[in-house]
């Protein structure tokens, strides 16, 4: 017979606890608060506050099948702050040490923090941290194209939710194509990096769990269709992007891999601008989406994604399409 006090304690914890992802305890040296998991059907502390979090500790939790973690809801912010302090520290020391290892750590922390930003896109401090970290990463990666392929492989291995991983993957591709084109100076690259990286922040209007299902409701599809304008509303006046870059974000959603539909109404609107940069950002987004797994489908081949790009832009941008094909064939040749 269960102890009545234990039953009351468990019921109380059920109300107080909130779930966290296992990756939220990566990259920190000690637990900023008590961390719980279900052990033999009961919620118990598996990592006490200030307990060491090392690779062996993480492996042991996984071996015991304790990957579904929880914290007291009021303590959740302590975990966020610990990861944001990590991101700040790595951003400041990005140029020190092994370039690939620092880039791997930076991209993982950025992606984790993107999840926090989606939870509350009105948080100015978090947005400023994400912008500054992304700017530093843009300059760093622009000057180190030799690590892009290895970084891509490492990043894919991490298995971030695709909604938070997609911004970096598409922006990495954009950076590579722009570098190969030799048409842009460092300041241009930084602005386009930020434009591409934050273009989909309006998707935070839809709960992340809904993106695990390929059958979105009509209301969700309407929100999805309006996310470029929502992104502009979130970023305008808060992120250092000039009006023409905000216009690119507003018009970038030419094709949706979630609905497999082209945004024809926007494309036919004479007030919308579909220049080379808008097209390039949209294309990189499409290729990144098609060539990575989703909860509801496997990744498509590079050939299939480039064939779609040919249909979308090949006639209007024949030379640019050749540049894109050349870049991706070289990038994916050993993957």
CA distances, 273 to each of 95, 146, 268, 310, 317 (Å): 37, 34, 10, 20, 15
Going from N- to C-terminal start, the domains of the chain cover: 4-76, 93-331
Q: Are 213 and 206 in contact (CB under 8 A)?
A: no
CATH number of the domain located at residue range(s) 93-331 in this protein = 1.10.3210.10
Residue 232 has pLDDT above 90, yes or no: yes
- Which of 47-51, 212-216, 247-251, 306-310 is predicted most confidently? 47-51
Question: 275: pLDDT confidence band, cut at 50, 70 and 90?
Answer: confident
pLDDT tens readout for residues 135-176: 999 999 999 999 999 999 999 998 898 889 999 999 999 999
pLDDT tens readout for residues 41-78: 888 999 999 999 999 999 999 999 999 999 999 999 99
Residue 311 has pLDDT above 70, yes or no: yes
Q: What is the mean pLDDT of the chain?
A: 87
How far is residue 90's CA from residue 104's CA, in Å, rounded to a whole number? Answer: 11
The pLDDT of residue 265:
43
Residue 249 has pLDDT above 50, yes or no: yes
């Amino acid at each position: 017979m269960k102890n009545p006090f234990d039953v009351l304690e468990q019921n109380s914890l059920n109300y107080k606890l909130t779930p966290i992802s296992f990756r939220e305890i990566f990259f920190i040296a000690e637990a900023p608060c008590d961390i719980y998991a279900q052990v033999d059907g009961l919620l118990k502390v598996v990592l006490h506050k200030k307990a060491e979090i090392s690779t062996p500790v993480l492996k042991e939790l996984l071996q015991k099948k304790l990957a579904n973690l929880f914290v007291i809801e009021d303590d959740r912010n302590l975990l966020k702050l610990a990861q944001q302090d990590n991101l700040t520290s790595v951003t400041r020391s990005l140029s020190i040490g092994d370039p690939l290892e620092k880039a791997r750590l930076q991209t993982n922390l950025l992606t984790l923090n993107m999840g926090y930003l989606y939870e509350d896109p009105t948080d100015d401090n978090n947005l400023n941290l994400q912008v500054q970290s992304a700017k530093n990463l843009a300059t760093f990666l622009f000057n180190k194209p030799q690590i892009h392929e290895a970084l891509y492989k490492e990043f894919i291995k991490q298995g971030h939710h695709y909604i938070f991983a997609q911004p970096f993957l598409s922006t990495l591709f954009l950076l590579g194509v722009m570098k190969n084109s030799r048409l842009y100076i460092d300041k241009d690259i930084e602005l386009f990096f930020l434009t591409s990286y934050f273009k989909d922040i309006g998707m935070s209007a839809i709960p992340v769990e809904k993106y695990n299902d390929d059958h979105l409701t009509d209301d969700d599809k309407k929100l999805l269709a309006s996310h470029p304008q929502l992104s502009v509303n979130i970023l305008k006046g808060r992120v250092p992007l000039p009006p023409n870059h905000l216009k690119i974000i507003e018009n970038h959603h030419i094709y949706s891999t979630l609905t497999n539909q082209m945004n024809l109404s926007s494309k036919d609107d004479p007030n919308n601008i579909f220049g080379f940069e808008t097209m390039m950002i949209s294309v990189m987004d499409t290729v990144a989406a098609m060539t990575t797994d989703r909860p509801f489908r496997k990744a498509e081949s590079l050939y299939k994604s480039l064939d779609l790009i040919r249909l979308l832009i090949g006639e209007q941008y024949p030379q640019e399409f050749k540049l894109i094909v050349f870049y991706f064939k070289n990038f994916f040749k050993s993957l």
